[in-house]
Amino acid sequence: MTVTCPPKPPVYITTPIYYVNDQPHVGHAYTSVAADVLARFRRLDGHPVRFLTGTDEHGQKVQRSAEKAGEKEQAFVDRVSERFRTLTRDLHCAPDDFIRTTEPRHRQAVTFLWQTLQEKGWLFRGTYAGWYAVRDEAFYQEGELVHGKAPTGADVEWVEEDSWFFRLSAFQQPLLDFYRQNPGWVGPEGRMQELVSFVSSGLKDLSVSRGAFSWGIPVPGDEGQVVYVWMDALTNYIAALGYPAATPAMADFWPGAVHLMGKDILRFHGVYWPAFLMAAGLPLPRRLFAHGWWTRDGQKMSKSLGNVVDPAVWISHYGADAFRWFLIRHVPFGQDGDFSAESFQHRYVCDLAHDWGNLVQRVLSFVVRHQGGQIPPVHDLTPRDKELLDLGPGILQQVRTWMDQTALHRYPETVWTLVREANRYVDEQKPWALRTTDPARMATVLGVLGRVIVQIAVLLQPLMPVSSQKVLDMLAVPEDSRTFATLEGGVVCPGPVGGEVTPLFPARDGPATPVQQA
């Protein structure tokens, strides 16, 4: 009788779609890398995965940026969107789709959602008089302002215009009921309380169209108005699955949706989005996770301070893997963190070059020199050998738990217990000394280490795809043996070490120009 495991549930992972008003910075890279780590992990673990990212191209902020650049809106968004696509590639993120809100498929979805809300009686015409922050593309109430600015520090403008409203007030109780019934819906713990407080303090109907400018999706049947950019943008998550068509992607992936975002935009995802979905009769995403905010050397990043971290600088200097490693390893996912050249360099040298790079280097070059590049078979395993070889599957199990909790920073930390153990094993077994005293034992020690290096490289693929692939290629591990199922099913016997063993993370000083160029 063959036992088949039940199929793993589909997972849909999204980043926010990025505004194309400016060039990408570390904040954008952070959400993309986090989402990519999660997506790659789930894929290797046998889940069907869809990973979506893209660009948010409408609204007053983008229109003003195009004007400032002296370009037509479409030409401007085409150009800037391309930069985000390039960043995605440079980061070695592998999304299944990249959506742009100026695409016809997106416009159709927004138009249909609008019509649905209108047919169901959730929209009405009124007059908005209040504060608006173009930088945040958000409305603020008088009481929310701090010293005449938005709570985010953005400038506000007084807006008085006819617009369409969404009956958000009707969703106050349904949202509170939903939060109560799904306490784990938002991570990290504590963030849910923010939503509960905001909604409990009273929801006003939301202005969902603007008439003062034209760069947006026209309101169906009212061409003088464009759809509010947040209603437009949030719809990307279902537009990319084919909505309004009842596609298999919508049926399979939407229930498994996990939205990642920065804490500054949790309110839009945790209040407005579920209200729109409830109003349209659509199911809600499975989970939201709001990560923290990066500062630079303890200061808020801003163009005027000239201290914005440009991902391209760090990637070209240290490589995408090191940049990904730093972002995920350095800061507990969900908390704020500080980006400094010193801490980056420290992690590069200590974690990557020293712990992991050296392990690979010293074991594999020894194998090349003394075993003709062949990872030897293992014989007469000692309890210590077995203990080391058995660590990998347990670590995978632990990491799964962390990923279920979106505790991404725990992932590298946990894999490092194996890296450290392997280094300790080399030091205590001393294969170089065994070469003369007990060559058979030396062969087994190298065999154990080769297998453990494969396990580590397999485990590290979602975090550092480039260097892991390099190690797995050197050891000639077949493509289909690089999944978590093979790691759990028994250690893959690594093939020959091909060619010269070059350092995974060569020595580097910090970059000369660590700030973003205009």
Contact residues for ligand MSP, defined by CB under 6 A: 16-19, 27-28, 30-31, 56, 233-234, 236, 261-262, 264-265, 293-294, 301
Shortest distance (Å) from residue 188 CB to ligand MSP:
14
Which CB atom, from 189 or from 336, has the smaller least distance to ligand MSP? 336
Task: Give the separation between CA 276 and CA 518, rounded to whole angstroms.
Answer: 38
Element (H, E) at 250: helix 248-253
- To the nearest whole angstrom, how small is the minimum distance from the Cβ of residue 274 to ligand MSP? 13
- Closer to ligand MSP at the Cβ: 62 or 475? 62
**Placement of tokens 């003394």 in the chain:** 370
CB of 417 to ligand MSP, least distance (A): 28
At 453, the amino acid letter reads I
In the complex, minimum distance from the CB of residue 116 to ligand MSP, in angstroms, rounded to a whole number: 19
Token reading at 214: 């034209």
In the bound state with ligand MSP, the residue whose beta carbon lies nearer, of 326 and 425, is 326
Q: Is 236 exposed, middle or buried (0-12, 13-18, 19+ CB in 10 A)?
A: buried
Residue 216 CA: distances (Å) to CA of 110, 162, 235: 11, 16, 13
Instruction: Quickly count: other Cβ atoms within 10 Å of residue 458's Cβ.
Output: 24
- Least distance to ligand MSP, CB of residue 104, Å: 18
Separation CA 371–CA 444 (nearest Å): 11
User: Is the Cβ–Cβ distance between 38 and 406 less than 8 Å?
Assistant: yes
- The amino acid present at 277, given as its one-letter code, is L
Nearest-approach distance from CB 198 to ligand MSP, in angstroms:
17
Q: Which is nearer to ligand MSP, 18 or 505 (CB)?
A: 18
Closest contact distance (angstroms) between CB of 19 and ligand MSP is: 4
Give phi and psi for 319, each to the nearest 5.
95, 155
Contact predicate 13/49, CB 8 Å? yes
- Size of the chain in residues: 518
Residue 103 or 162: the one with the smaller Cβ distance to ligand MSP is: 103
Nearer CB in complex with ligand MSP: 98/293:
293
Q: How far is the CB of 261 from ligand MSP (least distance, A)?
A: 4
- Sequence-ordered list of residues with C-beta below 8 angstroms from that of 371, at least 6 positions apart, any chain: 443, 446
Per DSSP, which regions of 381-440 are E strands?
none
Minimal distance in Å, beta carbon 318 to ligand MSP?
A: 19
- The residue number whose beta carbon is nearest to ligand MSP equals 262
The strand pair at 11-14 and 257-262 is best described as parallel
How far is Cα 146 from Cα 152, in angstroms, rounded to an integer?
9
Residues 181, 158 contacting (CB under 8 angstroms): no
CA distance 132 to 116: 27
Please name the amino acid found at residue 317. Answer: H
Residue 502 CA to residue 360 CA, distance in Å, equals 10
Q: How far is the CB of 289 from ligand MSP (least distance, A)?
A: 11
56 or 351, CB closer to ligand MSP?
A: 56
The smaller minimum CB distance to ligand MSP, of residues 54 and 494, is found at: 54
Q: Output the smallest distance, CB 206 to ligand MSP, in A.
A: 15
User: Distance (Å, rounded) from C-alpha 72 to C-alpha 127?
Assistant: 30
What is 163-183 written as a DSSP string? EEEE-GGGGHHHHHHHHHH-T
Task: Output 119 or 336, the one with its CB closest to ligand MSP.
Answer: 336
CB of 100 to ligand MSP, least distance (A): 12
Please choose, from the candidates 173, 152, 136, the residue with its C-alpha nearest in 3D space to the C-alpha of residue 274: 173
Give whichever of 308 and 491 is closer to ligand MSP, judged by the CB atom.
308
Give 215 or 366: the residue with its C-beta nearer to ligand MSP.
215
Bridge partners of 129, per DSSP, are 160
Q: Are 246 and 124 in contact (CB under 8 A)?
A: no
Cβ closer to ligand MSP: 234 or 491? 234
